[in-house]
């Protein structure tokens, strides 16, 4: 993770509607305390948190206590590719798009059955988790983060990271893959739903320059609009390479902390790598293309 600094915007947040720990109302409260101008909710595989978040932002803005109104951009994060490592953000997708609705329904069904398979694998390893600890079992977007946190609460591991490193990460004993669309199909689907489509945290992919360039080219062919360059996983060196690449190709530059609300991590709301001098212009460029808000 690179050293990060605070900005007045955060275009990548998670709530309790997926694997975040804060409700939309709590996220809004935190954004207001930080004096942010704009936030986007990007829950995994669900649009269910978007209306509550829009309502919480509207309530905050109507309260008259903010120095400037808080802008809210509805979004979503889809996992894609054979190992699920490619994450695609769709800003301003039409939440009633039939193809998006079908895709989310399939993803949620797959998440639920996969969570049961992960729990069975853990049980086979002698780790029987107390189902009462699994708050996320009630969420249609149940994921490995919920299971990892339950493992911490149950004392199986000390940290969420340890749960992933020992059991839940790809290749580990309780890993169960998901059934996912290809990255190009995820981009096309979000485009069809009217979204501005951004490749999330490109450095998380751990690809070499040539492979990452090839992926970006391929996704541009499917309609990719931007790259999430200012993410805690992007090193200063990578920013210096990726930002000119984005601008040369007329791709939007975005940034977000990927805040999940976990304590004891180095992720803080609105903290991204330093050097994003044009965040205001880049935000306007994104907003000018977002159709559904």
The interface with Mn ion within residues 183-202 (CB under 5 A) comprises 200
Work out which of 56, 89, 156, 160 binds ligand AMP, going by CB under 6 A. 160
Cα 7 versus chain centre, distance: 18
Q: Interacting stretch for ligand AMP, rule CB under 6 A, among 60-68, 97-105, 157-165, 278-286?
A: 157-165
Could you tell me which residues are beta bridge partners of residue 141? none
Give me the half-sphere count of Cα atoms (radius 13 Å) on the Cβ side of residue 12. Answer: 29
Residue 44 lies near ligand AMP (rule: CB under 6 A): yes
Phi/psi class of residue 38: alpha, beta or left (left: φ > 0; alpha: ψ in -120 to 50)? beta
Work out which of 12, 144, 231, 271 binds ligand AMP, going by CB under 6 A. 144
Residue 231 lies near Mn ion (rule: CB under 5 A): no
Residue 260 lies near ligand AMP (rule: CB under 6 A): yes
226 three-state secondary structure: strand
Q: Which is nearer to ligand AMP, 143 or 273 (CB)?
A: 143
Cα 268 versus chain centre, distance: 14
Residue spans of beta strands (DSSP E) within 64-151: 71-74, 77-80, 86-91
Residue 149 lies near ligand AMP (rule: CB under 6 A): no
Alpha carbon distance 228, 212 (integer Å): 13
Alpha carbon distance 201, 223 (integer Å): 18
Q: Choose the one of Mn ion, ligand AMP, none that binds residue 133, judging by a C-beta under 5 to 8 angstroms depending on kind.
A: none
Work out which of 225, 258, 262, 282 binds Mn ion, going by CB under 5 A. 258
> Comparing C-alpha atoms, which of 170, 171, 147, 172 is closest to residue 160?
147
Query: Both ends of the chain: CA-CA distance in Å?
Result: 31
115 three-state secondary structure: helix
Q: Which is nearer to ligand AMP, 60 or 119 (CB)?
A: 119
Residue 169 lies near ligand AMP (rule: CB under 6 A): yes
Residue 19 lies near Mn ion (rule: CB under 5 A): yes
Taking the complex as a whole, the smallest distance from the CB of residue 19 to Mn ion amounts, in Å, to 4
CA angle 202, 206, 210 (to 5 degrees): 80
Q: Which residues contact 20 (CB under 8 A, 6 or more apart)?
A: 13, 14, 27, 43, 259, 260, 261
Taking the complex as a whole, the smallest distance from the CB of residue 49 to Mn ion amounts, in Å, to 13
Work out which of 7, 164, 167, 259 binds ligand AMP, going by CB under 6 A. 164
Q: Which is nearer to Mn ion, 83 or 281 (CB)?
A: 83
Taking the complex as a whole, the smallest distance from the CB of residue 258 to Mn ion amounts, in Å, to 4
Taking the complex as a whole, the smallest distance from the CB of residue 293 to ligand AMP amounts, in Å, to 24
Alpha carbon distance 36, 8 (integer Å): 4
Residue 174 lies near ligand AMP (rule: CB under 6 A): no
Interacting residues toward ligand AMP by CB under 6 A: 19, 44, 79, 84, 143-145, 160-161, 164, 169, 260
Interacting residues toward Mn ion by CB under 5 A: 19, 77, 87, 200, 258
């Amino acid at each position: 993770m690179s050293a990060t600094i605070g900005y007045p915007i955060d275009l990548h947040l998670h709530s309790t509607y997926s694997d975040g720990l804060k409700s939309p109302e709590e996220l809004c409260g935190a954004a207001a305390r930080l004096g942010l101008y704009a936030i986007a909710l990007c829950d995994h595989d669900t649009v269910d948190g978007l209306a509550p978040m829009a309502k919480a932002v509207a309530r905050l803005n109507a309260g008259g206590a903010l120095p400037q109104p808080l802008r809210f951009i509805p979004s979503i994060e889809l996992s894609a590719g054979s190992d699920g490592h490619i994450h695609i953000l769709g800003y301003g997708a039409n939440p009633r798009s039939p193809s998006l609705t079908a895709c989310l329904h399939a993803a949620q069904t797959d998440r639920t059955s996969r969570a049961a398979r992960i729990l069975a694998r853990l049980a086979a390893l002698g780790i029987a988790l107390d189902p009462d600890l699994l708050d996320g079992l009630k969420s249609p977007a149940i994921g490995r983060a919920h299971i990892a946190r339950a493992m911490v609460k149950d004392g199986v591991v000390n940290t969420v990271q340890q749960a992933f490193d020992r059991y839940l990460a790809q290749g580990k004993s309780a890993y169960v893959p998901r059934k996912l669309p290809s990255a190009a199909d995820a981009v096309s689907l979000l485009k069809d739903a009217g979204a501005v489509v951004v490749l999330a945290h490109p450095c998380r992919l751990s690809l070499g320059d040539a492979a990452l360039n090839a992926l970006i080219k391929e996704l541009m062919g499917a309609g990719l609009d931007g790259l999430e360059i200012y993410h805690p996983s992007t090193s200063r060196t990578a920013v210096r390479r990726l930002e000119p690449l984005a601008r040369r190709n007329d791709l939007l530059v975005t940034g977000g902390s990927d805040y999940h609300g976990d304590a004891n991590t180095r992720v803080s709301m609105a903290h991204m790598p330093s050097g994003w001098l044009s965040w205001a212009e880049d935000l306007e460029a994104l907003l000018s293309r977002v159709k559904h808000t």
